[in-house]
């Protein structure tokens, strides 16, 4: 049993693998938070975990009892305006203008497994015995709105998954202008806040700071989860490291505008809130209608950041990603974008494919420029038909020829956008997100289609489905290169304009769902100017995402390290590109570029026809090596060892370990060389301490406990003599270590 219910005192205890989540119905009928953390044994009363005490400055619900105030108690999904002065989880505006509500407990239900969320991505179960879901039904008698709080606990995972459903059971219309997915009050504020922040080409860098009184928050108001802030925050104890200490994680399974915040109050309670951003949001809740929030996955570990990350990796890889490609090894691909940009023809594409096939590459991807009259980024988005000036024979003959080489074929789309210079815009100028009478801003010479309009979504589906049905296309790169501005919809009423961003996101999910169902063999990769929509919501439809447009190996150390806080390696597109790098102009060796890109869904983003024979031979060896270790790298257990965000940032190290702990691959990276350095070691993680390992290139063997506690002795750097040092010790250098257990049966 994972859900225990103490009927007499209305207490609920959710037990996961090593986690407990405990709450109760308070005397006013609302839900009080008791505990979230390391797994506790169940007992018949947890009332001692709650504290009610008089405070002279507080307001009280009961005049005869000044000890009970919502200003001082911990709550689980708090409301607004009845003695709690902190920010609430939800807010309902009623016809008379009131914002006050009083949702009280009515009943509960325990459901085996985990119900899906209508129209939204969500974690799931394949067997109902994996998890149990508790649904609490609350009701407000004045508004006649029902509130269903949903909590899922997995038997063998350390997560609690939460979402909320609002149902208007009355006869009057109400407006939600705040509807978060989860709120929880933690009993103290002795935490470091961890977020993944950045911008285009430097996404998901790790930033940490101590909590302080007041509100700390991140959010996106751009129409996507954004490259500026990822929909994830961690709360770690100051002493917590990668391998030990307590840490909480909060991850939102959503791809649009979001809010994640912690409010530290006057009594040092930390209120964590997460969900759709209330900024520029409202939702008209008509009689009989409901509103479903996205879900928040709350994780917990007392074994450090790595352990929490591995919890998310395992869940998102196996119970969020879906379909044929969820558990399959990802093909080694080559994308023509940085090789040709818009300037290509059939002959050029085939020459790249032919050379790539000889090197062992398995998938050829045709990027932007194949459709309409797309010779630059000013035209043709929305016109999803082949540009016969570039491909006079059409797409199918090209696909067939690539297939005849023994390679799969992939294609780029940007379904959510339209160019002013396009047939689609000329026929349907009202189909863009816009405000009448206001000049629309442009970005990259394109406008955002109004995916809150089902007619637009259906039109784009028909266009894409026609292309995918005509040829044997087995991979789709789905790009999105424009944030929202002048947000409005010609289809929606004036009092629904603030629904546009969320309705847009529901439209994107609907299009993805239709395509995934119609073309289950296709591997979808999400992209949004690189990593501007790299979030759990996308993983539900596209099991891998383009991690960043920045393919520079050194910058990728930070990007991939930060991304791994939440996301599995199988979900990270990681490619080798040409040098000087097209984003930062840095020159790194082909070896270093490969050693970084191996830790992800591996591929190339360059023109192999311009390589000399020595480089081609090196690529051939890289591809062969990756294929040999691909399953381990994509589906092993990932451990971060040395952070580029700590110290001077000159070193980074990480490793992947097979599930049976018989094999491991370790990567070590140095940004700048040091003259006459010390004798550095890297301590490994995740090995079996009792197993004996042979390290490729070394004569002797090592036990797991040695490698984890004493570490690997790294090769020395330049020692001041002409003959000292090794090739791998210079600037932008890397070393790989492959370990195999000699105990393997």
Indicate which residues carry an active-site annotation: 479, 549
Contact of 228 with 197, CB cutoff 8 Å:
yes
Note the maximum CA span of the chain: 88
Q: Which run of H or of E encompasses 194?
A: strand 192-197
Question: From start to end of 268-407, where are the E strands?
Answer: 270-276, 283-285, 290-292, 296-301, 333-335, 363-366
Encoded tokens for 589: 């060796």
**CA atoms lying within 13 Å on the CB side of residue 237:** 15
Contacts of 7 (CB under 8 A, 6+ apart): none
| Distance between CA atoms of residues 445 and 456, nearest Å | 20
Q: Return the SS3 of 120.
A: coil
Radius of gyration from C-alpha coordinates of the chain:
27
Q: Encode 600-613: b = buried (16+ Cβ within 10 Å), e = exposed.
A: bbbbbbbbbeebee
CA proximity to 281, closest of 97, 503, 38: 503
| Distance between CA atoms of residues 517 and 263, nearest Å | 42
| Distance between CA atoms of residues 308 and 512, nearest Å | 29
Encoded tokens for 156: 């063998």
Encoded tokens for 271: 């209120």
Other C-beta atoms within 10 Å of 615: how many?
13
Q: Is beta strand 258-264 parallel, antiparallel or unpaired with respect to 270-276?
A: antiparallel
DSSP secondary structure string for all residues of 458-486: HHHHHHHHHHHHHTT--EEEE-------S
CA proximity to 539, closest of 325, 328, 320: 320
CA distances from 52 to 65, 74, 459, 485 (A): 10, 10, 58, 47
Crossing angle of helices 395-404 and 346-358, in 10° steps, is 20
Other C-beta atoms within 10 Å of 170: how many?
18
CA proximity to 538, closest of 476, 464, 457: 476
């Amino acid at each position: 049993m994972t859900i225990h219910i103490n009927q007499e005192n209305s207490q609920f205890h959710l037990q996961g693998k090593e986690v407990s989540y405990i709450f109760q119905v308070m005397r006013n009928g609302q839900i009080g938070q008791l505990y979230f953390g390391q797994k506790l044994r169940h007992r018949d009363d947890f009332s001692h975990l709650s504290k009610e005490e008089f405070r002279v400055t507080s307001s009280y619900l009961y005049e005869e009892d000044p000890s009970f105030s919502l200003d001082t108690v911990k709550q689980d999904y708090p409301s607004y305006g009845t003695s709690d002065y902190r920010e609430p989880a939800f807010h309902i505006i009623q016809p008379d203008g009131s914002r006050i509500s009083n949702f009280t407990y009515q009943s509960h239900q325990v459901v085996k497994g985990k119900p899906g969320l209508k129209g939204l991505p969500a974690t799931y179960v394949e067997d109902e015995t994996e998890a149990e879901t508790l649904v609490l039904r609350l009701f407000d008698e004045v508004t006649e709105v029902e509130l269903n709080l949903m909590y899922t606990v997995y038997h063998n995972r350390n997560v609690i998954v939460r979402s909320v459903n609002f149902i208007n059971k009355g006869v009057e219309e109400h407006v939600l202008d705040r509807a978060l997915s989860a709120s929880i009050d933690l009993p103290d504020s002795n935490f470091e806040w961890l977020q993944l922040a950045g911008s285009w080409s430097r996404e998901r860098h790790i930033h940490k700071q101590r909590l302080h009184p007041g509100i700390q928050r991140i959010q996106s108001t751009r129409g996507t989860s954004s490259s500026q802030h990822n929909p994830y925050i961690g709360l770690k104890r100051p002493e917590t490291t990668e391998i030990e200490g307590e840490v909480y994680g909060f991850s939102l399974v959503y791809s649009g505008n979001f809010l994640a915040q912690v409010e530290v109050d006057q009594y040092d309670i930390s209120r964590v809130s997460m969900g759709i951003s209330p900024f520029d949001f409202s939702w008209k809740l008509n009689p009989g209608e409901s509103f479903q929030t996205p879900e928040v996955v709350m994780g917990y570990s007392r074994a450090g950041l790595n352990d929490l990350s591995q919890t998310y990796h395992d869940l998102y890889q196996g119970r969020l990603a879906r379909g044929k490609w969820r558990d399959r090894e990802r093909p080694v691909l080559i994308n023509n974008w940085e090789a040709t940009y818009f300037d290509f023809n059939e002959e050029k594409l085939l020459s790249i494919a032919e050379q790539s096939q000889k090197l062992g590459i398995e998938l050829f991807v045709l990027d932007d420029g194949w459709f309409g009259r797309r010779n630059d980024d000013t035209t043709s988005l929305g016109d999803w038909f082949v540009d016969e000036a570039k491909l006079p024979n059409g797409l199918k003959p090209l696909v067939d020829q690539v297939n005849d080489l023994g390679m799969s074929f992939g294609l780029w789309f940007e379904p959510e956008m339209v160019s002013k210079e396009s047939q689609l815009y000329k026929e349907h100028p009202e189909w863009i997100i816009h405000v009448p009478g206001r000049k629309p801003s442009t970005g990259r010479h394109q406008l955002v289609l109004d995916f809150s309009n089902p007619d637009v979504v259906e039109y784009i589906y028909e266009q894409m489905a026609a292309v995918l049905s005509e040829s044997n296309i087995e991979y789709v790169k789905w790009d999105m290169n424009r944030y929202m501005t002048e947000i409005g919809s010609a289809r929606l009423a004036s009092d629904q304009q603030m629904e546009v961003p969320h309705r847009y996101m529901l439209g994107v999910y609907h299009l993805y769902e239709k395509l995934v169902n119609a073309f289950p063999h296709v591997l979808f990769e999400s992209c949004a100017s690189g990593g501007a929509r790299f979030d759990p919501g996308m993983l539900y439809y596209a099991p891998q995402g383009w991690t960043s447009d920045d393919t520079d190996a050194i910058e990728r150390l930070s990007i991939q390290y930060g991304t791994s806080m939440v996301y599995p390696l199988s979900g990270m597109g990681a490619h080798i590109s040409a040098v000087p790098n097209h984003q930062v102009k840095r020159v790194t060796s082909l070896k270093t570029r490969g050693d970084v890109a191996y830790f992800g869904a591996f591929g190339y983003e360059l023109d192999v026809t311009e390589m000399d024979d020595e480089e081609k031979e090196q690529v051939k060896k890289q591809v062969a090596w990756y294929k040999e270790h691909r399953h381990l790298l994509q589906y092993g257990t990932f451990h971060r060892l040395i952070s580029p965000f700590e110290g001077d940032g000159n070193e980074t190290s990480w490793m992947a370990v097979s599930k049976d702990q018989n094999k491991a691959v370790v990567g070590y990276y140095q940004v700048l060389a040091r003259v006459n350095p010390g004798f550095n070691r890297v301590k490994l993680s995740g090995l079996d301490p009792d197993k004996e390992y042979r390290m490729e290139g070394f004569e002797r063997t090592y036990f797991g406990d040695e490698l984890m506690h004493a570490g690997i002795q790294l090769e020395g750097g330049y020692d001041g003599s002409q003959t000292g040092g090794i090739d791998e010790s210079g600037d932008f250098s890397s070393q790989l270590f492959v370990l195999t257990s000699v105990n393997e049966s």
